[in-house]
Every structure is written in structure tokens, then in C-alpha cells.
């Protein structure tokens, strides 16, 4: 085999002629993120996460075979941002509720989210109603999580060579369709193989969904010692001797507040340098002074949430969305794909606990009105920083706060950066 030399981001690399760029880069110690690329499959070129420049032309890296003298760009600011944007598109196009997903922690897409440092998506979530199909014999297909990478379409076949999956429809309605007849012919091993090659949690084998013990997940531990710097976070200049903090929980579960308390004795150290103003922790109901920083848990599901959020914006210099619900709606946003009327009827009229013949959906001028969907805080006021997690790790929260308020530099340990 002929060896050739080529360049990645100006560095001279060598590989076998015609080798796939992703593999060739890996051998030279350069990581190009991919989702659809799979060992022995022909390049699919569907996810576009591996977008690189080849002699100045953008192309999916997985479709490039290296040749003598080619000049590849991988980690330019433009490409890094484009790659992140594509992942964000995947997050908003599907309905990825990491905290309630069986594959969380073992999901390749989620892991790339960590790798690229996605804290929030620049795009608003689309909340398209997608089905969870349990009709197949051995598997369940959760279309909410499918990113249409095409791996299963190309890889999973019956013993007589028939496809089990294929795309149906087109455009934004494209979905991976299942052939129930062929699926029934899959062996247990073949079905499990389908589950394993799915880069997200879209294909699950019935009865095998929690294969690994919780807390023993492959992506929970990043590269040893890897820290996520907080370079995008601006320092806050203030003359207050003791920094003032306000917190609130909107459409959240108070889990994020629990997590704030989870620094244990660290809280006492913190109280040396900060004081809490309006917050469930102090039970102060209205702002008594302007605050340096406001921490918001939960998104906006009713009119009261909107009012409180606007009040926080008015009274805090810096506003931080804490947790998935605050960032994009989170678990309460599961209702966003269901019409509001159905939600209210299910909750108040037809639920198991409602009285027979109940006709009243609670409403009164003193009760906040329910919004047509759960909104992220970004859609209502400007948010300065986002702390992902469900809930975020206590260290993550306080490191961000300390980084913003004090001169010292802090960073986030890789395992503290999570979406669940």
C-alpha cells in the first residue's frame, strides 16, 4: 500500500492512499466528530457533523478519501460553529428529553453535544409530534429521537437480504419507516445489533432497554482531567461588597434548587461572600435591592411565570437559566407536542382522579392562565448564561456563579457537564 502525506489544519499527516479521512485523521491523532459514519458501511454523508474543508471546498469528511497533498481544514472557527449548529438542529428537530431517555449516557449524539459544548440551542425547538412505535415484534422505535442518519437502513437486513428500515416521505416529514413483516424475521441478535448501531435512543429492543446499570454509562467520564473552560462567560464588575443573588423556580420541579443546596458545607463558605435576596431559600417574596445575579429554574408555562421572569430581568444585572427546563422547556415541554385542550381535559376532566362528570377546568382571575406551550426563558427575556443539566451538578452551578462574580478563574470538570 502506498503511503501519502497530506495536511490537516496545517499539520502534516500521513496515511494510506485512499483511506477514509475520518480514520486517517484518527490515526494522526485528530478527532473529527461523526454520527452517521460507521465502520464498514459506505459513507452515508447524511448527518453532516463531520463537515470539513477540502482544498477550500466544504464537504462531509466521511466522504473524502485521502490523497497526496490534499489540504484539509477541521477546526477553524467557522467549521466548529457549523458543526455545533448542525447538532443543535438535531436537538430542535427531534424531541430529545435526555432525562427520560433510556440511552442517556450512552448516546453518541448527546456526547457530541458535550464535546462541542452546547449549552443551549440557538434555534427554537420545533416540537413536532412524533410517534413512539411499539408495533414491531422485537423493537420499539421512538421517532422523537431519530436523527435520520441512515445507519439502520443500510446495515439492518434480514437473512435473505431484505431491508427492515427505509426512509418514507420527504423534506421535513422524512421518517425512518419500519417493515413490520421483515422486522419479525430478525433474530434477537440482529435486533440488538440494530439497537447498538443507532447513535441515539431511537431503536430499542423490548425488554433490553436498561442493559447497563445506571451510573455506569460510557460517556459519563470524559477524557481524564479534561476541563471545560468558561471562556464565553463575561465577568461582572460590581462595587457591592457582598454580592447579591436572587433565585426562583418557574415551571420546574425544584430539583435545580435542591442541587444548589447540594454543595453541602460549601454553602456556608458561599454565605461569607454572597447574600441571597428574593429566593425560596430566604423566603423573601419581593426584591428589596437590585441583585448582581438571578438564577432561574424552569421555563414559562403560565402568565405568572412570564411576570416573574420579567421582574427578575428588571432587578438583576446578570440572568442565568439553570437546568433544561429553563433553557428550552425541558420535561414540562413534553406537552408542547400535544394540543393544550387535550392536556387540560386529560388533567382536569378525564383523569383517573377527577370526579365523574367533572366539567370545570380551573380558572379564575387570581389563577394564572396557562400558555399555549411551554416557552424557554430566552423567548421572553435576554438570558446571559445557560447551565445545562437535569438538574445541573452543584459544582457546575456555583462555579459559574463564582466565575461571573469574582476575580478568580473557574472551570467545569467534564463529568459535571450533563444534560440529564
Partner 1 sequence: MDRTQLLNKLWEYQQQFGYISNQAILEISKLLNVSNIEIESVISFYHFFHKTPTGKHLIYLNNSIISEFKGFDEVKTTFEKETGCTFNEPGNNEFTLLETSCIGLNDQEPAALINFQPFTDLTPKKVKLIIQKIKNGENVKDFCSKTISKIRFTPKNDKTVIFRNYRMGESLQQMQKFSPQQIIAKISKSKVQGCGGAFFPTGYKWQSCRNNEDDAKYIICNADEGEPGTFKDRALLQHLPGLLFEGMTIAGYATGAKEGIIYLRAEYFFILPELEALLQEFRNKNYLGKNILGINNFEFNIRIQMGAGSYVCGAASALIESLEGRRGEPPVRTHSATKHGYLQKPTVVNNVETLCYAARIIELGEDFFLNIGTPESPGTKLISISGDVAKPGIYEIEYGTSIRDLLGIEMSQATSPYFVQVSGPSGECINNTEFDRKICREDILCGGAFMVFNRNRDILQVLRNFMEFFKEESCGVCTPCRAGNYILTEKIKKIQRGLCAQEDVDEMKQWGKIIKLTSRCGLGKSSANTVTMAVDKFKDYFNVKIAPSNFNKTVEFDMEDAIHEFDSIIKETQL
Q: Please give the residues from 168 up to 187 whose contact with partner 1 meets the rule CB under 8 A.
A: 168-174, 177-179, 181-182
Cβ closest to partner 1, residue 45 vs residue 415: 45
Distance CA 253, CA 266 (A): 23
Q: How far is the CB of 244 from partner 1 (least distance, A)?
A: 18
Single residue of 130, 163, 193, 208 touching partner 1 by CB under 8 A: 163
- According to the binding rule CB under 8 A, does residue 147 interact with partner 1? yes
Distance CA 291, CA 272 (A): 16
Q: Which of residues 189-208 bind partner 1 (CB under 8 A)?
A: none
Q: Which of residues 62-101 bind partner 1 (CB under 8 A)?
A: 63, 78, 81-82, 85-86, 89-90, 92-93
Cβ closest to partner 1, residue 331 vs residue 370: 370
- According to the binding rule CB under 8 A, does residue 135 interact with partner 1? no
Is 286 within 8 Å of 359 (Cβ atoms)? no
Q: How far is the CB of 347 from partner 1 (least distance, A)?
A: 12
Q: Residue length, the chain?
A: 420
Cβ closest to partner 1, residue 137 vs residue 409: 137
Other C-beta atoms closer than 10 Å to the C-beta of 43 total 19
Site string for partner 1, 326-345 (x = CB under 8 A): --------------xx--xx
Cβ closest to partner 1, residue 284 vs residue 340: 340
Is 294 within 8 Å of 247 (Cβ atoms)? yes
Q: Which of residues 232-271 bind partner 1 (CB under 8 A)?
A: none
3-class secondary structure, 154: helix
Task: Name the one range near partner 1 by CB under 8 A: 7-15, 37-45, 248-256, 325-333.
Answer: 37-45
Q: How far is the CB of 238 from partner 1 (least distance, A)?
A: 17
Distance CA 380, CA 299 (A): 10
Other C-beta atoms closer than 10 Å to the C-beta of 167 total 13
CA-closest candidate to residue 121, choices 88, 83, 87, 95: 88
Distance CA 14, CA 28 (A): 7
Q: Which of residues 358-397 bind partner 1 (CB under 8 A)?
A: 359-361, 363, 369-373, 375, 378-382
Cβ closest to partner 1, residue 179 vs residue 262: 179
CA-closest candidate to residue 253, choices 326, 316, 336, 320: 326
- Phi, psi angles (nearest 5°) of residue 96: -100, 90
Single residue of 31, 123, 210, 254 touching partner 1 by CB under 8 A: 123
Other C-beta atoms closer than 10 Å to the C-beta of 172 total 8
Cβ closest to partner 1, residue 186 vs residue 331: 186
Q: How far is the CB of 281 from partner 1 (least distance, A)?
A: 24
CA-closest candidate to residue 36, choices 26, 22, 25: 22
Site string for partner 1, 44-63 (x = CB under 8 A): xxxxxx-x------x-x--x
Single residue of 2, 12, 40, 42 touching partner 1 by CB under 8 A: 42
Q: How many residues bind partner 1 (CB under 8 A)?
A: 72
Burial class (CB within 10 angstroms; exposed 0-12, middle 13-18, buried 19+) of 313: middle
- According to the binding rule CB under 8 A, does residue 166 interact with partner 1? yes
Q: Which of residues 292-311 bind partner 1 (CB under 8 A)?
A: 303, 306, 310
Other C-beta atoms closer than 10 Å to the C-beta of 26 total 13
Q: How far is the CB of 270 from partner 1 (least distance, A)?
A: 26
Distance CA 301, CA 79 (A): 36
Cell reading at 311: 421582574
Q: How far is the CB of 85 from partner 1 (least distance, A)?
A: 5
Other C-beta atoms closer than 10 Å to the C-beta of 92 total 17
Cell reading at 204: 430499542
Cβ closest to partner 1, residue 45 vs residue 280: 45
Q: How far is the CB of 294 from partner 1 (least distance, A)?
A: 12
Distance CA 87, CA 260 (A): 29
Q: How far is the CB of 76 from partner 1 (least distance, A)?
A: 11
Amino acid at each position: 500500500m502506498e503511503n501519502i502525506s497530506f495536511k490537516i489544519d496545517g499539520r502534516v499527516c500521513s496515511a494510506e492512499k485512499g483511506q477514509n479521512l475520518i480514520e486517517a485523521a484518527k490515526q494522526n491523532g485528530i478527532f473529527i466528530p461523526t454520527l452517521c459514519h460507521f465502520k464498514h458501511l459506505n459513507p452515508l454523508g447524511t448527518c453532516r457533523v463531520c463537515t470539513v474543508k477540502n482544498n477550500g471546498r466544504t464537504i462531509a469528511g466521511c466522504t473524502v478519501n485521502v490523497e497526496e497533498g490534499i489540504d484539509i481544514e477541521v477546526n477553524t472557527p467557522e467549521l466548529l460553529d457549523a458543526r455545533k449548529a448542525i447538532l443543535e438542529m438535531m436537538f430542535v428537530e427531534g424531541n430529545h428529553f435526555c432525562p427520560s431517555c433510556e440511552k442517556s449516557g450512552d448516546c453518541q449524539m448527546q456526547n457530541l453535544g458535550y464535546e462541542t459544548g452546547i449549552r443551549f440551542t440557538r434555534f427554537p425547538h420545533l416540537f413536532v409530534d412524533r410517534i413512539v412505535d411499539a408495533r414491531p415484534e422485537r423493537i420499539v422505535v421512538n421517532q422523537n429521537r431519530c436523527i435520520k442518519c441512515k445507519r439502520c437502513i443500510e446495515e439492518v437486513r434480514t437473512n435473505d437480504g431484505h431491508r427492515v428500515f427505509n426512509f418514507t416521505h420527504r423534506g421535513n416529514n422524512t421518517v425512518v419507516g419500519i417493515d413490520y413483516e421483515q422486522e419479525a424475521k430478525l433474530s434477537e441478535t440482529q435486533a440488538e445489533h440494530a439497537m447498538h448501531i443507532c447513535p441515539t435512543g431511537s431503536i430499542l429492543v423490548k425488554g433490553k432497554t436498561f442493559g447497563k446499570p445506571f451510573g455506569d454509562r460510557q460517556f459519563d467520564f470524559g477524557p481524564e482531567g479534561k476541563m471545560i473552560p468558561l471562556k464565553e462567560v463575561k465577568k461582572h464588575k460590581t462595587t457591592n461588597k457582598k454580592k447579591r443573588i436572587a433565585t426562583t423556580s418557574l415551571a420546574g420541579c425544584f430539583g435545580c434548587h435542591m442541587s444548589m443546596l447540594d454543595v453541602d458545607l460549601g454553602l456556608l463558605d458561599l454565605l461569607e461572600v454572597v447574600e441571597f435576596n428574593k429566593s425560596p431559600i430566604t423566603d423573601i417574596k419581593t426584591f428589596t435591592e437590585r441583585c448582581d445575579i438571578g438564577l432561574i429554574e424552569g421555563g414559562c408555562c403560565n402568565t405568572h411565570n412570564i411576570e416573574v421572569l420579567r421582574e427578575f430581568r428588571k432587578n438583576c444585572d446578570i440572568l442565568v437559566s439553570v437546568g433544561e427546563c429553563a433553557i428550552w422547556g425541558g420535561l414540562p415541554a413534553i406537552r408542547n407536542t400535544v394540543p393544550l385542550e387535550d392536556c387540560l381535559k386529560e388533567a382536569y376532566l378525564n383523569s383517573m382522579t377527577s370526579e365523574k362528570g367533572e366539567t370545570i377546568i380551573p380558572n379564575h382571575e387570581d389563577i394564572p392562565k396557562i400558555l399555549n406551550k411551554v416557552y424557554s426563558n430566552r423567548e421572553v427575556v435576554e438570558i446571559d448564561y445557560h447551565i445545562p443539566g437535569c438538574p445541573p451538578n452543584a459544582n457546575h452551578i456555583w462555579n459559574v456563579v463564582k466565575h461571573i462574580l469574582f476575580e478568580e478563574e473557574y472551570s467545569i470538570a467534564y463529568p459535571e457537564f450533563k444534560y440529564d
